[in-house]
Amino acid sequence: MQEELLLIQAYLRDADSKSNKNESVKMWVKQVRDIAHRIEDVIDTFLVEIEENHPKSSPWYRKVCMWLKINKQKLKLSGDLEEITQAIKKIYQLRINLEITIRGADNEQIDLVPFRPTKPTDVDDSEVVGFEDDKRNIIKQLLDTNISRRMVLSIVGPGGLGKTTLALKVFKSAELEKQNPPVTDENLQAELQKSLTSKRYLIILDDVWRDSNWEQLKTGLPDPKNASRVIITSRSVDVALAADCNTQPYKLRYLNADESIALLFRKAFQQHIQPEKYPLNLLQVAEKLTKKCSGLPLALVVLGGILSRKERNYTAWNTTEETMDWHDEAGKKCSQVLAMSYEDLPYELKPCFLYFASFPEDYKISGEHVTRMWMAEGFVPKDGARTIEDRAEKCLEELVQRCLIQVTEKSWNGYCEYCNMHDLIRDLAITKAKEENFFTIFSKEGEDVNQLPAIKPRRAALQFSTLTQHGVYSENTRSLLCFGFGQYSSNDCSFSKLNYSGFSLLRVLTLQGVDMTKFTQTQWPNGLVHLRYLGLRDCRIPKDLFSKFSFYNLETIDLKGSVSVNRGIIVLDVLIPTLKHVYGFWNFYLRLQWDHHTNLQTLNYVHIETEIVELACCINLRTLVINFRGIKDNERALQMWQNLKVVLRRTEQLVYFGIEQFGNIMRRRLLPFGGTTDLPCHGKIQNLYLKGKWIRDICVPSVEMFPPNLIKLKLTSSKLEEDPMPILEKLLSLRILHLGTYSYVGTKLICSTGGFPNLEKLRLHWLPNLCHWDIEEGAMPILRHLRIDACLSLKALPELQKVPTLQELVVNYPLPEARETMQGDKDLHKIKHIPFVRIGRDWSA
């Protein structure tokens, strides 16, 4: 049956590219998918019974009972397999009747070019707002005669963003010699090359989908070294880099709020309207309408066309806003354009994309955790040359490059830390997930989740749901994602009524903001044989939680923000050889077992002390952040540091290392750290986090204490008395620096000329004594982001005109008078060159 499943999955993979062309094929694919799911359920259910009833160290009569249960399950399995065999025969016969040809089965190569019934332009308005600056920037690059080679400039972005419109605006701005030699398909390439060899040319290639398309075209585009230019529009960054890896792709932005309003009114009124003449009775509802479009020009154009046929009053426009449906006839063009991006995805990437449908709107999605969920589901194909984590990261990167996912925050190593989806693309994902029975989503307050047993969803996401009865479960569900917001949220009463023990086939389980101490004994999610990902963020959990589980395949556990009863220590001492990634909290204790945790790659924020020597078994660790509790004695702290250094001799893969001393900020705390120089992984550590006062009572660190290839450094509670900048600015690889709460207790900081040559982000947080900060000319030459939080004594900004690369400045002050001082006329000239400035009273970390 497993072999049959592999064959069926191969059929699904090959039929996928054809299913959007033919309704019969689409129906057949759905039936094949249902059969594949049925096979998976039967096999996995049987494995659960085997694991739970396998005779182990039990009395003989107990073993007999277990074997009887297993034999009963074998009989049931036999009946299930017979039913499936008959269903498969019907499916194969239907394929023949429908004349569906499948690559491999029928030796036919399916055309993989995405189906495009029409050739829509991104925006039908050549005068669309917001592109004038983009047009000038591109023309400036094209006319740069210092670049004599043929340069390919790619404009990239998702469907509907206006790439074609922008390219046409550039084209119409150019004075071009128009010659159209007669050519045929056969001699096109040769004639094109002949025609262009002696000329300086500008050619625009619109909507290039794959780098293979460019490979076919480029031979007809010679490089006469006369500053010829090619413009490509594409939804894929990969295409752009394949065409010209030496030219940065031009990533087209979304329209801002003002530009969106302007475009909406222009299309609704069929004429240009000045902002001061916007109808006041329509402005408020127009803002709500444009917010739904999230700056996508095509959506605004489509919506404006709808409004142009409505009465120009609040009632008519508000009704449109409340009933707006991008899947009706009026929105068909918009959804077609967006759907093409999905259809063009490789088969393996489609479930990864659809998984984003499970997250609530505007949810801060962790790139690291969503890839761990993909791995748990088995979506990530194996690649012998790379780890599965690297392969999953590559899948996320490809979705970003295809402009289907937006990166909102990058991690220290340049990868996606947090991301989200454009609202319309999210709607597309939800629609496709529903069509393919991929995810069932309960997203509205009061939805009846009691339907779960009847629906039997493959995967279920619960957001703002209210249950009417206890004990609801679905034994066929593979992923259960319950989203609350904050600790013990209002949704808690909903999630606390589920019967988690009934979800026996789960591979992914996440509970956010749930008080698990309210669970009855029958609700406990024990016996989850197939569980690979367990997320318990911001939950209240019993101390003995993990003693109730039977873990066989768990790979990732996330406890960030969770607490236990009376804020005690949560202990995980269950032997789980498969465990790879652990995200803990200050109260989480992992009891390692020698030679049984060699697969561990991530130990992030885990309390460890007495059994520190057991860390030596974790030879594949890449991330290690540990917490030492209650160490106030210098000699004890020094001994702990020496023990840790000995243990870390085997962790040669470590790139992120952090240690912290837990305790009240004002108490004397001693952090067992004296420099990383003598660590075996010293040269590989790129991210270092230190919280607490160092054991050697160091007033200022030395360069030698830090790894030579350090990219990110975060210091908290170090209480350094002397200005650390003269030392830290000599860390040549440093790109991110965070001086956190009480990291420095002095009064003055000086960044000198030539210092911090590669620093891109700098954050100062709660340095209460800092009153003066001086930046010399030539310091921090590529700094882009600066954030200053609650530095209560700092009354004025440094001379930021000396940092011309600064793109974002955020200053959060708690006192109104301080904020007014920063916004005074005296300082405004210093920050006017920065695109984004916010001066406010934001206390968020």
How large is the greatest C-alpha to C-alpha distance in the chain, in angstroms?
Answer: 94
* 688 three-class SS: strand
Buried b or exposed e, range 744-769, using 16+ CB within 10 angstroms: bebeebbbbeebbbebbbbbbbbbee
Decide if 500 contacts 524 (C-beta within 8 A).
yes
Decide if 509 contacts 531 (C-beta within 8 A).
yes
Closest CA to 29 of 395, 438, 521: 438
Beta strands at 556-558 and 623-629: parallel, antiparallel or unpaired: unpaired
Distance between CA atoms of residues 465 and 331, nearest Å: 29
Please indicate whether residue 656 or residue 489 has the higher confidence score (pLDDT).
656
Q: In the 8-state DSSP scheme, what is residue 515?
A: B
Residues 6+ apart with CB under 8 A from 694: 670, 671, 673, 674, 718
Residues 6+ apart with CB under 8 A from 386: 394
Least confident of 37-41, 622-626, 750-754, 767-771: 37-41
**pLDDT tens-place string over residues 720-748:** 999 999 999 999 999 999 999 999 999 99
Distance between CA atoms of residues 371 and 373, nearest Å: 5
Residues 6+ apart with CB under 8 A from 123: 160, 162, 164, 165, 297, 298, 301
The answer on pLDDT for 59 being more than 70 is no
**pLDDT tens-place string over residues 587-600:** 777 777 656 778 89
Q: In the 8-state DSSP scheme, what is residue 186?
A: T
Residues 6+ apart with CB under 8 A from 183: 191, 192
Distance between CA atoms of residues 318 and 313, nearest Å: 9
pLDDT band at 198 (very low <50, low <70, confident <90, very high): confident
The answer on pLDDT for 83 being more than 90 is no
| Token duo for residue 524 | 């406990």
Residues forming a β-bridge with 460 = 440, 480
Closest CA to 473 of 506, 447, 432, 425: 506
Decide if 727 contacts 704 (C-beta within 8 A).
no
pLDDT band at 843 (very low <50, low <70, confident <90, very high): very low
Radius of gyration of the chain (CA): 30
Please indicate whether residue 571 or residue 146 has the higher confidence score (pLDDT).
146
**pLDDT tens-place string over residues 253-296:** 888 999 999 988 988 887 888 888 899 999 999 998 888 787 88
First to last CA, the chain: 52
The answer on pLDDT for 752 being more than 90 is yes
Average pLDDT over residues 757-777: 95
Q: What stretches of 540-694 show up as alpha helix (H) in DSSP?
A: 634-647
pLDDT at position 44 is 85
Distance between CA atoms of residues 293 and 303, nearest Å: 9
Q: In the 8-state DSSP scheme, what is residue 500?
A: G
Distance between CA atoms of residues 131 and 154, nearest Å: 16
Cα 832 to Cα 156, 467, 781, 806, 807, distances in angstroms: 29, 53, 18, 11, 11
* 660 three-class SS: strand
Tell me which amino acid residue 512 is.
Q
> Over pLDDT 90: what percentage of the chain?
26
pLDDT at position 609 is 61
Average pLDDT over residues 167-194: 68
Please indicate whether residue 439 or residue 136 has the higher confidence score (pLDDT).
439
pLDDT at position 505 is 92
CA dihedral over 442, 448, 453, 454, signed as positive or negative = negative
**pLDDT tens-place string over residues 564-580:** 877 777 777 777 889 99
475 membership: H or E segment, kind and range: none
Scan for tokens 């019907």, then name that residue.
90
The answer on pLDDT for 104 being more than 60 is no
Neighbours of 155 (CB within 10 A): 24
Distance between CA atoms of residues 536 and 565, nearest Å: 15
pLDDT band at 760 (very low <50, low <70, confident <90, very high): very high
Decide if 732 contacts 756 (C-beta within 8 A).
no
Distance between CA atoms of residues 400 and 249, nearest Å: 14
The answer on pLDDT for 120 being more than 90 is no
**pLDDT tens-place string over residues 294-350:** 788 877 876 887 787 788 899 988 888 887 665 555 556 667 667 767 877 888 999
Average pLDDT over residues 118-133: 53
Q: In the 8-state DSSP scheme, what is residue 415?
A: S
Tell me which amino acid residue 259 is.
E
pLDDT band at 753 (very low <50, low <70, confident <90, very high): very high
**pLDDT tens-place string over residues 450-478:** 888 888 899 999 987 677 678 889 989 99
pLDDT band at 814 (very low <50, low <70, confident <90, very high): low
Looking at mean pLDDT, say which of 81-85, 290-294, 405-409, 663-667 comes out highest: 405-409
pLDDT at position 592 is 73
Cα 162 to Cα 167, 239, 337, 581, distances in angstroms: 9, 18, 12, 41
Average pLDDT over all residues of the chain: 81
Average pLDDT over residues 178-204: 73
The answer on pLDDT for 549 being more than 80 is no
pLDDT at position 654 is 92
Distance between CA atoms of residues 156 and 168, nearest Å: 14
Distance between CA atoms of residues 266 and 235, nearest Å: 27
**Cα 745 vs. chain centroid, distance in angstroms?**
36
- Please state the length of the chain: 845
| Token duo for residue 705 | 């204490």
Tell me which amino acid residue 484 is.
G
| Token duo for residue 543 | 């101390």
Tell me which amino acid residue 534 is.
L
pLDDT at position 125 is 44
Distance between CA atoms of residues 700 and 683, nearest Å: 22
pLDDT at position 830 is 62
Distance between CA atoms of residues 336 and 342, nearest Å: 10
pLDDT at position 623 is 94
- Helix and strand counts by DSSP (H, E) for the chain: 23, 30
* 552 three-class SS: coil
The answer on pLDDT for 481 being more than 70 is yes
Average pLDDT over residues 336-365: 86
Distance between CA atoms of residues 845 and 838, nearest Å: 15
**pLDDT tens-place string over residues 496-519:** 888 988 998 999 999 988 888 888
CA geometry: angle 103, 108, 114, nearest 5 deg:
75
Neighbours of 438 (CB within 10 A): 21
Beta strands at 459-463 and 479-483: parallel, antiparallel or unpaired: parallel
Distance between CA atoms of residues 809 and 824, nearest Å: 16
pLDDT at position 295 is 84
Residues 6+ apart with CB under 8 A from 328: none
pLDDT at position 106 is 39
Residues 6+ apart with CB under 8 A from 598: 577, 617, 618, 619, 620
Distance between CA atoms of residues 102 and 136, nearest Å: 49
pLDDT band at 829 (very low <50, low <70, confident <90, very high): low
The answer on pLDDT for 102 being more than 80 is no
**pLDDT tens-place string over residues 234-246:** 888 888 988 998 9
**Side-chain-side CA neighbours of residue 311 (13 Å):** 7
Looking at mean pLDDT, say which of 41-55, 621-635, 643-657 comes out highest: 643-657
